A and B are shown apart, each in its own frame.
Chain A
Amino acid sequence: MSLNAKTLREDEFFYGHKACAGCGGSLAVRIALKVLGERAIAVLPAGCMSAVGFNFPQLCFGNNAIISTFAGTASMLTGIEAGLRAQGITDFQAVGFAGDGGTADIGLQALSGAIDRNDDILYICYDNEAYMNTGVQKSSLTPFGAKTTTTPAGKNIHGNLRQKKNMFEIVAAHGIPYAATASIGYLDDFIRKVEKASKIKGTKYIHIIAPCPTGWGIATDETVEIAKEVVDSGLWYLAEYENGEFTLNRRPKAFSDVGAYLRKQGRFSHLTEDDIHFIEQSRDAKWEFIDKTFKL
């Protein structure tokens, strides 16, 4: 029987940290480590989770954990995996937890290298859609229209002008053994994917949406709800890539209101009806592609 929220172990491996109230990223790390257990070796680059978890002498990981350089999550995972294997140790899981900037921007080269070599590692990107640790600056995974401290919303420019980089398909294009998208709003789905990934040999990648109340402008008790809504509105999707095929895990019959999702968040409060219409159009175009390409 596969794990779910009810059968997940009681042990905690990430606690006592100083993440903001309602942090989605810390939930993703906590749950993934509960799935992987004490034989997980976690690598975290510069970013929120390393900033809140590794403040000497207050070290918050119950399993082995290390901070990598910002660009070096994947390459450090590679070295850890190779170093242990060279010593005849194989019953462990090297797992990376990097944010959206650490993954899609500065860490992309090392990640691509690791997938190319098919190193036996699990890489989890917790995507809170901006450089939150440094105070909410745009990353290449910041969605269109979002206001950040480097994409201010003014009269002339309505926040970020670019769409999210398509990390899931970029990773899949390497021919990776396993890749998946997830959301902390659907934890059972995430738990299943982490467990599945841990049993696959070679490089695995899971991209989980992890809302940040501080950066998104939502209440601290709305994190999980907004993480559900981003999926329900069709602005994010739950899918897997395996054996060269894309599978959609969840196809909403009808999407919930995109406008309602956006209006709840401070970072989108400036959007005009035209902006929202554009976001809906982009979503529909994406889903046309998904419905055509992904198995259900």
Chain B
Amino acid sequence: MAKKFLSGNEAFAEGIRLARPQVISAYPITPQTIVVERLSEMVEAGSLRSEFIHVESEHSALSCAMGASSVGARAFTATSSQGLLYMAECLTYASGGRFPIVMMNANRSTALPWNIYGDQRDSISQLDCGWIQAYAADAQEALDLALMSYRIAERKEVSTPFMANLDGFVLTHTYEVVDVPEEEQADRFLPKFETDNKLDLEHPRNLAFSAGPAHNTAFKYKEHVGLCNAKAAIKETEAEFAKVFGRQYPGLIEEYRTEDAEYILITLGSIAGLAKETVDRLRKEGQRVGLVRIRYLRPFPNEEIAKAVSSAKAVAVLEKDISFGNEGTVYTNVNSALHKAGLSIPSSNYIGGLGGRNISGEEIEGIFGELKEHRAKITFLGIGGDGK
């Protein structure tokens, strides 16, 4: 393993190089561009043997990736924000077709107003499209996710596309020291892509067909089962990953000092780093606080979250997302998990980081402070109002 000083985007590109996709379809959008730039350089230099397709839009980026996947090739693309929305039609198409494509999404605000900075409204708006959704917290995790993503997505019982999310700029453009595995290690970890779900010149097939009312539910049920199967696949893949690379990831959620915590913050993405620091600071003051970082929004860790917070007095969900007219979508999902587990823990929702607005340690501390009041409420950080 070599240590390198890499941004989140560059780390992800290194992970993709090691995963050896056979087709890369690329269309630039800030803050994703560096990923496709680095990959094009690797192809030019010969360190990555891949068909690099300069598509003319994000819709074509994913459509092209689906074409490649439909003939059994490993495919990669990357996007962000408006680009993700522009290809939205292809998202349900890829999952319905059971094409295990991997796509990196640089989390970015969506227009209007125009804004190139990070929030998670882009990917969270597409939660229902049938993709696995992972959220990285740092550059190392980004690289490792790139490698693990294919192994998870391509498992026969999963056969589901994988969206790896990196917070725009905060993660995509921030440099950290990253362990870059050797190709030989990566090849040992990630087998070649083999699938029966493909157009086959020796055994012709018709794919991506119509299924009317009589058959449609069965196809959709199988799709749901596939995504749920990712839970076990993630766990097993992380165990294998630890064996080869020596880094153990904690599954669908990461728990931080939750064992005896009375007040728990639930969040996702790169803000977890600051939240951990805040937890440490408050713990030193004797406050029993903890953190749950959601690593996968789909499949959703219902049981894992409920278990992690079961003894808490109150929980807060901090997310860079708002489902206008309701509340943050992560909050909705968390409350559903608590309800299904029979837990009646007061929960609050904090909407922060929209359009790249900074979330400070003081604000996170403030959230823990407010939790003691046990109020179920929605707060827009920096504004305070709940919109009602």
Contact = CB atoms under 8 A, between A and B. Distances in A.
Contact of A80 (B60, B68, B209, B211): B68
B65 to A, nearest CB: 6
B60 to A, nearest CB: 4
Interface in A58-105: 59-69, 71-72, 74-87, 89, 92
A281 interface: no
Contacts of B75: 79, 83
Nearest to A85: B51
A56 B67 contact: no
Most buried by A among B54, B200, B207, B210: B210
Given A39-B201, A64-B199, A72-B63, A80 B206 contact: no
Contacts of A75: 25, 55, 59-61, 63-64, 67
Interface string B50-75: 11011111011101111111111101
A110 interface: yes
A56 B50 contact: no
B205 A64 contact: yes
Most buried by B among A60, A74, A84, A110: A84
Interface string B193-230: 00000011100111111111001000000000000000
A38 interface: yes
A282 B208 CA distance: 42
A144 interface: no
A87 B59 contact: no
B59 A66 contact: no
A82 B56 contact: no
Contact of A86 (B51, B93, B210): B51
Contacts of A110: 56-57, 59-60, 63
Given A64-B204, A117-B53, A79 B210 contact: no
Nearest to B93: A69
A154 B55 CA distance: 43
Given A64-B204, A65-B206, A78 B64 contact: yes
Interface in B321-380: none
Given A41-B199, A66-B70, A56 B215 contact: yes
B57 A83 contact: no
Contact of B199 (A50, A68, A72, A80): A80
Given A75-B64, A84-B73, A59 B209 contact: yes
A76 B60 CA distance: 8
A150 interface: no
A39 B210 CA distance: 23
A109 interface: yes
A83 B73 contact: yes
A56 B59 CA distance: 26
Given A110-B56, A113-B55, A79 B64 contact: yes
A86 B65 CA distance: 13
A69 B58 CA distance: 13
A86 B192 CA distance: 13
A55 interface: yes
A82 B93 CA distance: 20
A109 B27 CA distance: 14
B70 to A, nearest CB: 6
- B contact residues, range: 35 or more
B22 interface: yes
A72 B204 contact: no
Most buried by A among B59, B90, B201, B211: B201
B40 to A, nearest CB: 14
B89 A66 contact: no
Interface in A1-59: 38-39, 41, 43, 50-51, 53-57, 59
B201 A92 contact: yes
A89 B206 contact: no
Contacts of B206: 53-54, 59-61, 64-66
A54 B207 CA distance: 8
Contacts of A109: 56-57, 60
Nearest to B99: A79
B50 A72 contact: no
A76 B210 contact: no
A82 B56 CA distance: 16
B23 interface: yes
Interface in A96-143: 109-110, 112-113, 116-117
23 contacts: A43-B67, A51-B210, A59-B209, A64-B199, A64-B201, A64-B205, A64-B206, A64-B207, A65-B204, A66-B208, A75-B55, A78-B25, A79-B64, A79-B66, A79-B70, A80-B70, A80-B199, A83-B23, A83-B51, A83-B68, A87-B72, A87-B73, A89-B201
Ordered nearest first, which 9 A-B pairs have the shortest CB separation?
A79-B67, A113-B56, A83-B73, A83-B68, A72-B63, A75-B60, A86-B22, A79-B64, A75-B63
Interface of A: 38-39, 41, 43, 50-51, 53-57, 59-69, 71-72, 74-87, 89, 92, 109-110, 112-113, 116-117
Given A67-B209, A79-B23, A80-B70, 16 more contacts: A50-B210, A64-B206, A68-B67, A69-B93, A71-B63, A72-B90, A75-B55, A75-B60, A78-B53, A79-B69, A83-B67, A92-B201, A110-B59, A113-B56, A113-B57, A116-B56
